[in-house]
Amino acid sequence: MSEPETAADAAPAGARLTVHRTSSADEGSRQILCSVDGTYVGQLLFGQKMTRDIPAGSHALKANNTLVWKTLPFEAGAGEHVHFTVWNEPMGGFFARLLFIFVGAAALTLRVTPGPPDSSRTA
C-alpha cells in the first residue's frame, strides 16, 4: 500500500535564476536593477551576481540601468538553473558626446543575453 500524496509532493519543483554582471565588456558604472514578473529581486554593481529561487514556468526578467529598460521572457523548467548576463555598454558617436556635455549623463546602453558570461563571446 502506497502512502497518500501530500501537498508538498504535488507541488511542482522550483527552478533557479542567476543574473551575472561580470562580463569584461561591462563599462563598470551605474547599477542595474532587476525584477522577475514585476517583483524587484535586487540590484547589481559591476562584478556581482545574484541567484534567486523561482517557480518553474514562464517568467519575464526586467533589467534597467535607470536609463534603458529591457524585458526578456524566459521559461524555467522544474529543477533548471537559468542564467542571464547583464552589462552596461557605452554608446559612441556625436549625440552620445552631446548628451554627456550638456546633461552630464554618461550615454550608456544596457545589454542582456541568456547564459553566463563567456570571455570568448564578443559582446
Q: How confident is the model at residue 117 (pLDDT cuts 50, 70, 90)?
A: confident
Rounded to whole angstroms, how far apart are CA atoms 56 and 54? Answer: 6
Of the candidates 58, 39, 42, the one whose C-alpha atom is nearest the C-alpha of residue 50 is 42
Taking the CA atoms of 98, 62, 45 and 48 in sequence, report the sign of the dihedral they define.
negative
Q: What are the φ/ψ torsions at residue 103 (nearest 5 degrees)?
A: -110, -25
Helix (H) or strand (E) holding 7: helix 7-10
Question: From 2.60.40, 3.40.50, 1.10.10, 3.15.10, which CATH number describes the 12-114 domain?
Answer: 2.60.40
Percent of the chain with pLDDT over 70: 74
* pTM given for the model: 0.77
65 and 86 in contact (C-beta within 8 Å)? Answer: no
**DSSP state at residue 23:** -
Q: Give the separation between CA 74 and CA 49, rounded to whole angstroms.
A: 18
Q: What pLDDT is stored for residue 123 in this prediction?
A: 40
- Look at residue 104 in the predicted model and tell me its pLDDT: 59
| Residue-range domain boundaries for the chain | 12-114
